[in-house]
Amino acid sequence: MKPIKLGTTKSLRLQTDAQDSAAAIGNTGVDVVSTISIISMLEECCHQLLKDHFEVGEASVGTIVNVVHRSPLPLGSDLDVVAEVKYVKSRKIEFFVSGQFRGDVIMDGIHERVVIDLEQFRQGVGKP
């Protein structure tokens, strides 16, 4: 992994739709963006921040998600997601993440990712 500085940030604006709804994952009648969909968007932002720091044959995987879902997000909304590097130790990177709608925090917290060697990772998949 190429060096990455503390405080490095990445922002994305992502459009939500019906496939992101709580109803789409079985929570009938809850027609707002699901927690899991917002977490996925936060993870995507962290991945986008990291990918320019990968060496050939590297990728990253999420290892910790600790977020608070503070407010419902209407379907069809644009969600502004931000990731900021807060901690780096070897291949472990911790981010402060937040998702905002019209300036209001919808979700925030911590996400950790580990940079992996893809070949070693593939060889270990399915092994205890």
Question: Mean pLDDT, consecutive 10-residue segments, the chain of 128 residues?
Answer: 96 95 92 96 97 95 97 95 97 98 96 95 81
Assessment of whether the complete model's pTM goes beyond 0.75: yes
> Looking at residue 128, what is its pLDDT?
67
> Looking at residue 127, what is its pLDDT?
76
- Residues found in the chain: 128
- Looking at residue 21, the DSSP 8-state letter turns out to be B
Query: Per the domain annotation, does 49 fall within a domain?
Result: yes
102: amino acid identity, one letter: R
Q: What's the CATH code of the domain at 47?
A: 3.10.129.10
The count of structural domains within the chain is: 1
Query: Per the domain annotation, does 32 fall within a domain?
Result: yes
Query: Per the domain annotation, does 3 fall within a domain?
Result: no
Query: Per the domain annotation, does 31 fall within a domain?
Result: yes
Domain hosting 38: range is 9-124
**Cβ–Cβ < 8 Å for 113, 59:** no
Q: Give the strand order in the sheet containing 58-69.
A: 9-15, 78-89, 92-101, 104-117, 58-69
From the number of C-beta atoms within 10 Å of its C-beta (0-12, 13-18, 19+), residue 56 rates as exposed
C-beta neighbour count of 119 within 10 angstroms:
10
Query: Per the domain annotation, does 54 fall within a domain?
Result: yes
> Looking at residue 125, what is its pLDDT?
82
Query: Per the domain annotation, does 2 fall within a domain?
Result: no
The sign of the torsion formed by the CA atoms of 48, 49, 55, 60 equals negative
Query: Per the domain annotation, does 1 fall within a domain?
Result: no
